[in-house]
Amino acid sequence: MAKITLTATKTPELRLEAENISPDIFAGKSVAEIAQLHVFVGKESQKLGDYFEVAGESGSTAANTTIVINGDVSRVKYIGMKMTDGEVIINGDADMYVGAWMSGGKITANGSVDAFSGLGMTGGELTVKGNAGNYLGAAYRGDWRGMQGGIIRVSGNAGSDIGTFMRGGTIIIGGNVDVHVGTHMEGGTIIVKGDAKSRVGGQMVKGEIYVFGDIEVMMPGFQYRKDVDIEVDGTEGSFALYEGDIGERHGKKKGETIYGQLYMKY
Amino acid sequence: MADYIIRNGFVFDPILGINGDIMDVAVKDGKIVDAGDVTKATEIDASGMTVMAAGVDVHAHVAGPKVNVGRNFRPEDKLFSCSPRSGIKRMEAGFSVPTTIRTGYLYARMGFGFSMEAAMPPLYARHTHEEIVDTPIIDQGALPVFGNNWFVLEYIKENEVENTAAYIAWLLAQTKGYGVKCVNPGGTESWGWGMNCETVDDVVPYFDVTPRQIVDGLIAANEMLGLPHCMHVHGNSLGEPGNYGVTLDTLKIAEGHKPNNEFGRESVLHHTHLQFHCYGGESYASKSFESKSKEVMEYVNSTDNITFDLGVVTLDETTTMTADGPFEFHLSHMNNLKWANTDVELETAAGVVPFIYNPKTFIAGAQWAIGLELGLLIKDPMKAYITTDAPNAGPLMRYPRVYKWLMSAKARDDMLDNVLKYGDSVRERCYIGELDREISLYELAMMTRAGPAKTLGLSHMFGSLKAGLEGDVVVYPYNPESDTDDPEKIEYAFGNCNTLLKGGELIVKDGEVVSNGKQKRTFWVNAKTNENPVVERDISEKFKRYYTVTQNNYAVEGHHYVPNPYVIEVDATK
């Protein structure tokens, strides 16, 4: 697999909007052509090469192109946006919108990522070794199509509003999360290994949320149904099953009303 | 102002009876003149291209509060549809509810010179005019809504046509409005009681009046005033399976009414987005949903005082917005997406809901077919105008795609065979499969410029290349002799005109917008009536008792909100 290495050479004065850092865009381009791709800094359009040293070789297609990003990209947004295939490895922290609207391929962030990562994602894998910000796997502002497929795995903590309007796919958080998890959720799975604060599953229609730790304040729209023994992401345990959000509309399948399911580990 | 001569194009002008002749068209001092009357004109080479008068849009929602609500509550509509400023062009954004700037540029690129905003809530007329002023290039007007207005309901209940007319004249002057629009007559008001008017004989609660009376009364008042445009109706039970009977009942109300105006208009009733009103069957869920376009068109073809527009579904994700409040409520419960609504005091209501016409569903495919059938079944294309009820059945930018479907049976077959999932069912339960008519460029000119200009009472200004008319001329990069093989060329050409002259000013040159236009005007109708103390007293009373604003704060101050007006004077004192 061909590998392109981007090494950050200077810190942008404003946030760098670099939606061109994607295997789909890099594929088939020479190092010089990649350095000429545009990035936005505020209202100005500049060159990727102004901020990164570009080395290595790109593959002929996105699928056989790997991008390795070294140095400080904590002020670089949109890494891997809309990518369909290939791989991106970020050796450090990245700014917002990592893997937003991605439909395939793999992104590994060895540091943390900021808000809106995996936004509206439909496929592929996003792995974050550090923490994730707010609106992870959520919907774009105003949209009703949050994460629809693929998998997001965060080793550390995540912020608030995880999986808003989520419709499919899986989000696994190793640590704790802030308020608002799975708001308006219509499908998919969210697993929180640590604690959650308040408003988990508010206006949830369908889908599953698993919380291994505590929920500080439970939504009043969830009703306890029964205890179940299940395996969740490799961990076996007893969970209390709650269904909700009772105040929301719910469809029926074979005469049975379908609710969102919230599992809390004993 | 420079003079222009457009040389050697294939000219289509149904008013002059010119059908593809190679001729020159000249514009001098902003007006069309005979080619021999210009001497030092800038020459535009239109050889191998199609030349027409600029388009006239009879019905679109492009300015005003509900359009702006659509923009505000759909940031995702602009997400990937934004183009930055470049040259003289300002930033454009939005797909189904474009910004004012994009609206102006879209019309310019499609070769339009005039657009009628189809529903203006009188109380929010100021906002409508602010957006009209912000929309570059095209001339515009706006139709205030009357079909659920308390004054109208009360006067019509008592058969007081003269008072209705006096009130209409007053409101047009207050709001700088152009004509009489009527949306879901009575039904929107009934919604305030949690009800609707589903047939023309359902009674509006409290007011004790029926949609039949409202439509009849508004037509009578419209003709009493002699307004340039006829009564413009969006009937009851829009979008309901089985509604074609209600539609026929509505259309038949025009029987017995005669046009009375000095503008050459022959229609007394314009029924808008007729596609949504030609459904058979019992419900969307049943297998009985079917097209009734032929039944409705048999009636339309047999009368001469009715016009309509198509409202073709373009199978896009769009934003619906209408003063038919109960319908939007109903729609929001079908797709469970976000919904905004408002009640406009004594006047009207409105709702906004995003909607996806999914080509994988039978219903959306049938809706697409029904809209096109109306255009293909019309005998006299001067009575049928091409719209998408933008953005309700489809975004404004899809007009050229609709032309392609109407002009090419091959393009329709491709949709039925390869795009629609239930193409066979659509062929079975709609009439589209048996229609092989292809709309000609001459007919297209009737359906997009000559016809709408006539029914809007603007044929003395727009819709033709007759000497003396406004210098609105468009050149499309379409060769009617050699480009007929590929329907995609139609869509491209009518969405990307080569040249547009608006009022004699060069707006589009070689396919690029080169001017934001200096002459943009707002059209409104000032109807002079005899003094009517009863109506004056009623207005004053209603403002004191019910309105949240005073009468003094109601009027649209022309000098501020309508800085460049074009006032059409009507004398109804006799």
Task: Kindly report, residue by residue over B489-533, the tens digit of the pLDDT.
Answer: 999 999 999 999 999 999 999 999 999 999 899 999 999 999 999
- Cα–Cα distance, B126 to B535 (Å, whole number): 23
What is the average per-residue pLDDT within A107-115? 98
Containing H/E element for B87?
Answer: none
B335 in A contact zone (CB under 8 Å): no
Q: What is the DSSP letter of A100?
A: T
pLDDT attached to residue A188: 98
CB-nearest partner of A140 from B79, B337, B338: B79
B75 in A contact zone (CB under 8 Å): yes
pLDDT > 70 in chain B, percent: 100
Alpha carbon B42 to chain centroid, angstroms = 34
pLDDT of B176 above 80: yes
- Look at the alpha carbons of B250, B253, B255, B259 in this order and tell me if their dihedral is positive or negative: negative
Min Cα–Cα distance to chain A from B193, Å = 24
Min Cα–Cα distance to chain A from B74, Å = 6
- Cα–Cα distance, A39 to A53 (Å, whole number): 14
- B419 contacts: CB under 8 Å, gap ≥ 6: B315, B359
Tokens of B465: 């290349």
pLDDT of A43 above 90: no
- Cα–Cα distance, B277 to B309 (Å, whole number): 11
Task: Kindly report, residue by residue over B100-113, the tens digit of the pLDDT.
Answer: 999 999 999 999 99
pLDDT attached to residue B259: 98
- Cα–Cα distance, A94 to A90 (Å, whole number): 7
What is the average per-residue pLDDT within B284-307? 96
Chain A residues with CB-CB distance to B73 below 8 A: 142
- B341-346: long-range contacts at Cβ-Cβ below 8 A with a sequence spacing of 24 or more? B342/B65, B342/B69, B343/B192, B344/B121, B344/B122, B344/B123, B344/B124, B345/B123, B345/B546, B345/B547, B345/B548, B346/B149, B346/B150, B346/B151, B346/B542, B346/B546, B346/B547
CB-nearest partner of B75 from A142, A144, A249: A142
pLDDT of A1 above 90: no
What is the average per-residue pLDDT within A200-204? 97
pLDDT attached to residue B123: 97
Task: Residue B274: name the closest of B121, B422, B378 by CA.
Answer: B378
pLDDT of B390 above 90: yes
Chain B residues with CB-CB distance to A142 below 8 A: 73-77, 338
Measured between CA atoms, the residue of chain A closest to residue B337 is A144
Tokens of B231: 């009564």
Angle at A120 between CA A117 and CA A121, to 5 degrees: 75
pLDDT attached to residue B519: 85
CB-count exposure of residue B285 (10 Å: 0-12, 13-18, 19+): exposed
pLDDT attached to residue B499: 98
pLDDT band at residue B548 under the 50/70/90 scheme? very high
Tokens of B52: 């027409």
pLDDT of B1 above 80: no
pLDDT of A71 above 80: yes
Task: Kindly report, residue by residue over B449-479, the tens digit of the pLDDT.
Answer: 999 999 999 999 999 999 999 999 999 999 9
Tokens of A202: 């508010």
Check A142 against B337: CB less than 8 A apart.
no
For residue B92, what are the β-bridge partners? Answer: B83
Chain B residues with CB-CB distance to A143 below 8 A: 76, 79
Q: For the whole model, what pTM was predicted? A: 0.96
Measured between CA atoms, the residue of chain B closest to residue A248 is B336
pLDDT attached to residue A53: 97
- On average, the pLDDT of chain A sits at 97
Task: Kindly report, residue by residue over B246-283, the tens digit of the pLDDT.
Answer: 999 999 999 999 999 999 999 999 999 999 999 999 99
pLDDT attached to residue B558: 85
B182 and B232 in contact (C-beta within 8 Å)?
yes
B560 and B127 in contact (C-beta within 8 Å)?
no
B246 and B200 in contact (C-beta within 8 Å)?
yes
Check B79 against A144: CB less than 8 A apart.
no
pLDDT attached to residue B283: 93
